[in-house]
Structure 1
Amino acid sequence: MPKRPDRPDRLPHEKGFHVSWDQIHRDSRALAWRLDGHGPNDGAWKAVVAITRGGMAPAMIVARELDIRTVDTVSVKSYDHQKQAEATILKAPDAIMMGDGTGILIVDDLVDSGKTLELVRTLYPKAHFATVYAKPKGRAMVDTFITEVSQDTWIFFPWDMALQYVEPYRGKD
């Protein structure tokens, strides 16, 4: 959605992709179906680890669909509002469960530059990394994803949005 000079309140991003709760649910289920039977333990996964915060909803859906009862989180900060920053680990999952990552499914909503997944992959090199959405710069860091979007697309997730009145494009009536 290009910024209009007569509407300075428009989003500054070249393109916006709005994802509803229904859409993230459908796409997360599709991710689960793609991962089903591909774990190293006769097709099963040992655990799901969500990358907080965006990976929590997709990870919950994947864990439910694949009947995985062990769920943990890894907290990584890589954004300061909408600006990317250096990725740092704020909280790691259970070390005994994780090992080198074998049998662990690490889930996030999106791989953008790949810096978050690169950092987590250094800790758990044998884990399987899955995201719902992938951008070209980070695509090499993810093992499984559902939808690729262009690098200049900003994805608006439902947990970042609120319903509110929007003025018509033209006129006030």
Structure 2
Amino acid sequence: MHEKRVSWEGMESLNKKLVEKLDKERFDCLLCIGSGGLILGKLIADSKAIPLSAIIANSYDKGEKSKKQVKLSNIATISPLKGKVLVVDDLADSGETLEAVIELLKTFPNITNIKTAVTFTKPHSKITPDYYVEETSSWIIFPYEKVEFQSDQS
């Protein structure tokens, strides 16, 4: 699989493109998915002047099964999630993380609309994000993953 390394400068450019796509939309709050969506979520929340919340998602192998399950943390928020919510992550790969977060948010009675935004999406993702900058089959290495990626190669 082709590898695509994204620099900090490249991320800044991609993030600006995503913010431009969101320009005419109004959201009541933003939920970023950590850890990959934390930086992007902060940038979008600041640019749109909307409350920022976060949830941590982790995929892990359960026993010997190859199927990955998504484990979600509690949502960290100062103001309640309500109205039109924008869910932000860096990448929609399998789509399972976005799907799990959306299913969780559907249980919140005061949320009326859920939209998703990512920097990259993969063609095989089970969810097509509402907003994204680029679709790619490449293995994406973000600048904040360099240490993680290096330790995996050891």
CA distance in 1, matches of 2:13, 2:49: 17
After superposing on structure 2, the runs of 4+ consecutive aligned residues of structure 1 that deviate more than 6 Å are: none
Long gaps (5+) in structure 1: 1-13, 39-43, 163-173
In the alignment, structure 1 residue 15 sits paired with structure 2 residue 2: yes
Contact 1:130–1:143 (CA under 8 A) maintained in structure 2: yes
CA distance in 1, matches of 2:132, 2:119: 5
Partner of 1:103: 84
Change (3 A) 1:79 1:154: farther
Change (3 A) 1:106 1:160: same
What number of residue pairs does the alignment pair up? Answer: 137
**SS of alignment partner, residue 73 of structure 2:** strand
In the alignment, structure 1 residue 31 sits paired with structure 2 residue 18: yes
Change (3 A) 1:74 1:141: farther
**SS of alignment partner, residue 77 of structure 1:** strand
CA distance in 2, matches of 1:106, 1:128: 6
Return the TM-score normalized by structure 2. Answer: 0.79
Q: Structure 1 residue aligned with 2:98, among 117, 132, 135?
A: 117
**Post-superposition offset of 1:92:** 2.1
**Post-superposition offset of 1:65:** 2.0
Change (3 A) 1:133 1:84: farther
Flag the structure with more relative contact order, 1 or 2, with Cα contacts below 8 A and sequence separation at least 6. 2
Return the TM-score normalized by structure 1. Answer: 0.71
| Higher helix content, 1 or 2 | 2
Q: Structure 1 residue aligned with 2:71, among 68, 83, 88?
A: 88
**SS of alignment partner, residue 88 of structure 1:** strand
